[in-house]
Homo-oligomer: A and B are copies of this chain.
Amino acid sequence: MTTVRIAGADLTRFGSVPDRTGRDLFAEAALGAREAAGVPRGDFDELTYGNFMGELAERQGHQGPIMAEAAGLDCPATRYEEACASAGAAVRAAISAIRSGRADVVLAGGMERMTNLETEDTTEYLAIAADELYEVRAGMTFPGAYALMQRAYVEEFGGEREDFAHVAVKNHDHALPNEYAQYRSAITVDDHLDAPMISDPVGLYDSCPITDGAAALVLCSDEYAEEHALDAPVAITGSGQGGDKMALQDRKHLNRTPATERAAEEAYADAGITPDDVAAVEVHDCFTVAEVLALESLGFYEPGTAVSAAREGETTKEGALPVNLSGGLKAKGHPVGATGASQVVEMHRLLTGEHPNSEYVDGTVGVTHNAGGTVASAVVHVLEVVA
């Protein structure tokens, strides 16, 4: 089976740009990725595109063809929606298209526009990623759901709010030199502990922000890269996806994320790696507890042991396993439908030496982890420097 190469990658600066349309944002990322790849537009076989709430935020469904046109392409385009893992699903679909032989070159990416809305609308719209019938009608919002997960975690395994604060402090620190990050400001543990409580024990600084942004990747087959002498040293060698019950009430544990475990298992087997091979990881830290759960489900820590990893410095840029060197969702920002692709873009930059934090990556293998809802969906990718 062909290896899938990353021929080009780009993203917009994440943040609040309420006056820019979705197509404008995606065009910027897509044209940047196309320019980096140097692949002629006629060679693109398809666009795989992630978006979560365009129907509500822009009254625009069927965004595939719009975004193909925005990207300057004349090819089939499909939108993938997997809540906050939409772009992870789009990247995975691109890999599948190339591996199945139906495509040589695919543009994969995603976009979300969120800051044009009132915050209360955004909260309501984000809630459609949870179970409308069994959770949303009961008043559940995402900070509330992750608060339940954090409570269940602490009850079984222990951990202080300060442990979770260190996750946020670390990710803000990592974002400082990242020109694409929404927040390039250091925070302290005291800032975290003094910040308003959102849904006890989840505070303001446990939560990722609301963000506009887009990300795009030019993916191609090994054969195409070779034939066209592309500069594409990084391959996506593993892809995995996992699912779980949608509603928290139907899960056995609130403090485990088996969808991530399954996605990781598949992706690692696909790439032929183990967690020990991984030099850096970008995980889906929509809330600080989500980073803790992800690190355990990805096999980097035993259940109940990742909570103090940031405090101990193990996951900081100078730690044994740097986590979210981009700044993560917490500080880089979380334009929902773009996040999964942006993680791959950032890991690509980290592995190729183009990222300001590349110096902290001691190795050639990186992993990205994108989750949807309360991790009812998870997508994991393995990136490797292969040339």
Of A61, A102, A262, most buried by chain B (CB within 10 Å of CB) is A61
Chain B residues lying within 8 Å of A128, measured Cβ to Cβ, are 55, 59-62
Give residues of chain A (126-144) contacting chain B, Cβ–Cβ below 8 Å.
128-133, 136
Q: Could you tell me the distance between the alpha carbons of A97 and B100 in the complex, rounded to whole angstroms?
A: 7
A182 and B299 CA atoms in complex are apart in Å by: 51
In chain A, positions 25-52 with a C-beta closer than 8 Å to chain B are 46-47, 52
Within 8 A of B (CB), among A202-230: none
The verdict on A377 contacting B62 (CB below 8 Å), with A76-B241, A101-B1, A241-B76 known, is yes
Contacts of A243 in B (CB 8 A): 47, 64-65, 68, 74-77
On chain B, the residues within 8 Å of A245 by CB distance are 65, 69
Q: Which of A80-88, A323-331, A360-368 contacts B (4 or more CB under 8 A)?
A: A80-88
B100 close to A59 (CB less than 8 A): no
Known: A100-B96, A132-B60, A372-B62. A246 touches B53 (CB 8 A): no
Give CA–CA (A82, B65) in the complex, Å: 9
Q: Is A58 an interface residue, CB under 8 A from the partner?
A: yes
Bound Cα distance from A13 to B39, whole angstroms: 47
With CB as the reference atom, state the residue of chain B lying closest to A66. B246
| Chain B: minimal CB distance from A41 (Å) | 13
Does A56 make an interface contact (CB < 8 A)? yes
CB contact under 8 A between A69 and B250, given known A62-B129, A64-B377, A132-B60: yes
Q: Which of B83, B102, B239 contacts A62 (CB 8 A)?
A: B83
When chains A and B are docked, how far (Å) is the Cα of A241 from the Cα of B102?
11
A242 CB within 8 Å of chain B: yes
Complex: A83 Cα to B75 Cα, angstroms: 16
Known: A61-B52, A62-B373, A246-B65. A80 touches B83 (CB 8 A): no
Docked CA distance A246–B241 (Å): 31
Contacts of A61 in B (CB 8 A): 52-53, 81, 83, 128-129
Known contacts being A55-B53, A132-B58, A262-B76, is A65 close to B376, with CB within 8 Å? Answer: yes
**With an 8 A cutoff between CB atoms, is A348 at the interface?**
no
Q: How far, in whole Å, are A243 and B68 apart by their CA atoms in the complex? A: 9
Q: Counting CB contacts under 8 A, is A78 at the interface?
A: yes
Quick check: B77 and A80 within 8 Å, CB to CB?
no
Which residues of B are found within 8 Å of A338, using beta-carbon distances? Answer: none
Q: In the assembly, what is the distance between CA of A23 and CA of B78, in Å?
A: 23
| Residues in B neighbouring A263, C-beta threshold 8 A | 76
A369 to B132, CA, bound (A): 33
A162 within 8 A of B: no
Flag whether A6 is at the interface (Cβ < 8 A). Answer: no
Query: Is the C-beta of A79 less than 8 angstroms from some C-beta in chain B?
Result: yes
Q: In the complex the two chains form, what is the Cα distance from A163 to B7 in whole Å?
A: 51
Contact B55 A21, beta carbon cutoff 8 Å: no
Question: In the complex the two chains form, what is the Cα distance from A81 to B21 in whole Å?
Answer: 20
Kindly identify which residue among B52, B59, B372 contacts A136, using a CB–CB cutoff of 8 Å: B59
A99 within 8 A of B: yes
- Nearest-CB residue, chain B, relative to A376: B65
Cβ contact within 8 Å between B241 and A46 = yes
Considering the chains assembled together, what is the distance between the CA atoms of A47 and B376 in angstroms? 14
Name the 4 nearest CB pairs between A and B, nearest first. Answer: A62-B83, A61-B128, A76-B241, A100-B100
| 10 pairs, A vs B, C-beta closer than 8 Å | A23-B133, A55-B125, A61-B129, A62-B82, A62-B83, A62-B130, A65-B372, A75-B243, A78-B377, A93-B93
